[in-house]
């Protein structure tokens, strides 16, 4: 795909475009880090879109209430962690299936937010809100840097810190993990809290690119993120995958939209092509792993 682009539309590789794509997809990467953890632990979270919306609104409201902007940002992350804790309690504490739990929380959170805000955006924010007061150029640079820093942190942590390896262990075989001294329920709870906090961070990174907060943001985010994680090679059955793959997945899916625009395809074929890419990527991944025996469906 990149080859075709280089041939047909070299403008794609201009620095401004690449920077914009980087900044635009930084929040998706942050959320995808969290989703990778969740899927590694053999669960899923389809409520992050709603969490994203709430955290963005939280950041805006806290800033409006007079809190210093960095604290408002922390508030957004904390809100996310709390929402993640709700999911975590239901899944780890009560042992309920994560797909159904997060389906329920997805609907409840989004509808609850809509009811409370009636669709009105959070406006008239203090001027330091946009770019966290850093100004456009620094801000646009800071966002992908933060995302990459978080990425490196988690990538390192997953491999070298005991908690990280515990996630892998829990995902591949919870019983064996328990026998090895790991507490699977704690790991699962932690994973959902991390997901929530990272979603809050993603919401913050998005919100500060603008001067006000849309209250219905993040619709469809969960699908984008899950697709990126899976395309990146993390197995939906848990226990297998690397954050590096997720980075590639986010990059691939993030490039598709702008690439298609540069190639001149009509907008109404975008979604079909995205679906196709997901299917091809997953099929290719399965073919790659074929010789090693039965692939659990």
Subset of residues 216 to 245 that bind another protein, contact rule: CB under 8 A:
216-217, 219, 223, 226-227, 230, 235-237
* In the complex, minimum distance from the CB of residue 274 to another protein, in angstroms, rounded to a whole number: 5
Report which DSSP code applies to 89: I
* In the complex, minimum distance from the CB of residue 196 to another protein, in angstroms, rounded to a whole number: 17
Distance in angstroms (rounded) separating the CA atoms of residues 112 and 133: 31
Compose the 241-280 pattern: x for residues touching another protein by CB under 8 A, - for all others: ----------------xx--xx-x-xxxxxxxxxxx-xx-
* In the complex, minimum distance from the CB of residue 51 to another protein, in angstroms, rounded to a whole number: 14
Instruction: Report whether 231 contacts 66 (CB < 8 A).
Output: no
Asked if 7 touches another protein (CB under 8 A), the answer is no
End-to-end CA distance of the chain: 29
Instruction: Report whether 84 contacts 177 (CB < 8 A).
Output: no
Distance in angstroms (rounded) separating the CA atoms of residues 269 and 245: 26
Among 1, 135, 283, 288, binds another protein (CB under 8 A): 283
* In the complex, minimum distance from the CB of residue 148 to another protein, in angstroms, rounded to a whole number: 20
Asked if 282 touches another protein (CB under 8 A), the answer is yes
Distance in angstroms (rounded) separating the CA atoms of residues 267 and 218: 20
Asked if 192 touches another protein (CB under 8 A), the answer is no
* In the complex, minimum distance from the CB of residue 163 to another protein, in angstroms, rounded to a whole number: 26
Q: CA nearest 212: which of 105, 288, 117?
A: 117
* In the complex, minimum distance from the CB of residue 11 to another protein, in angstroms, rounded to a whole number: 6
Distance in angstroms (rounded) separating the CA atoms of residues 224 and 226: 6
Q: Which of residues 113-152 bind another protein (CB under 8 A)?
A: 114-115, 118-121, 123, 136, 140
Our CA angle for 142, 255, 273, nearest 5°, is 150
Is 231 buried (19+), middle (13-18) or exposed (0-12) by CB count in 10 A? buried
Q: Which of residues 50-79 bind another protein (CB under 8 A)?
A: none
Backbone angles phi, psi at 281, to 5 degrees: -60, -45
Stretch touching another protein by CB under 8 A, among 17-25, 59-67, 146-154, 156-164: 17-25
Asked if 20 touches another protein (CB under 8 A), the answer is yes
- 98 or 164, CB closer to another protein? 98
């Amino acid at each position: 795909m990149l080859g075709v682009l280089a041939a047909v539309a070299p403008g794609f590789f201009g620095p401004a475009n690449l920077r914009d794509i980087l900044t635009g997809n930084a929040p998706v990467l942050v959320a995808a880090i969290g989703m990778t953890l969740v899927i590694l632990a053999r669960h899923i979270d389809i409520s992050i879109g709603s969490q994203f919306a709430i955290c963005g609104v939280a950041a805006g409201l806290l800033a409006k209430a007079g809190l210093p902007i960095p604290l408002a940002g922390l508030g957004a992350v904390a809100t996310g962690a709390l929402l993640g804790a709700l999911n975590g309690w239901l899944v780890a504490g009560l042992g309920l299936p994560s797909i159904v739990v997060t389906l329920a929380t997805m609907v409840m959170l989004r509808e609850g937010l809509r009811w409370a805000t009636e669709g009105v955006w959070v406006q008239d924010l203090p001027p330091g809100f946009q770019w966290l007061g850093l100004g456009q150029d620094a801000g646009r640079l800071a966002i992908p840097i933060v995302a990459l820093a978080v990425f490196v942190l988690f990538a390192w942590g997953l491999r070298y810190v005991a908690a990280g390896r515990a996630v892998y262990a829990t995902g591949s075989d919870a019983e064996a993990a328990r026998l090895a001294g790991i507490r699977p329920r704690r790991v699962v709870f932690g994973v959902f809290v991390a997901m929530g906090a990272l979603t809050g961070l993603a919401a913050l990174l998005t919100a500060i690119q603008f001067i006000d907060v849309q209250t219905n943001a993040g619709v469809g985010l969960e699908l984008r993120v899950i697709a990126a994680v899976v395309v990146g090679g993390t197995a939906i059955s848990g226990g297998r995958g690397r954050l590096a793959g997720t980075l590639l997945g986010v990059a691939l899916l993030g490039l598709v939209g702008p690439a298609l625009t540069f190639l001149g395809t009509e907008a109404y074929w975008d979604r079909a092509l995205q679906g196709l890419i997901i299917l091809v990527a997953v099929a290719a991944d399965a073919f790659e792993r074929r010789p090693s025996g039965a692939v659990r469906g």
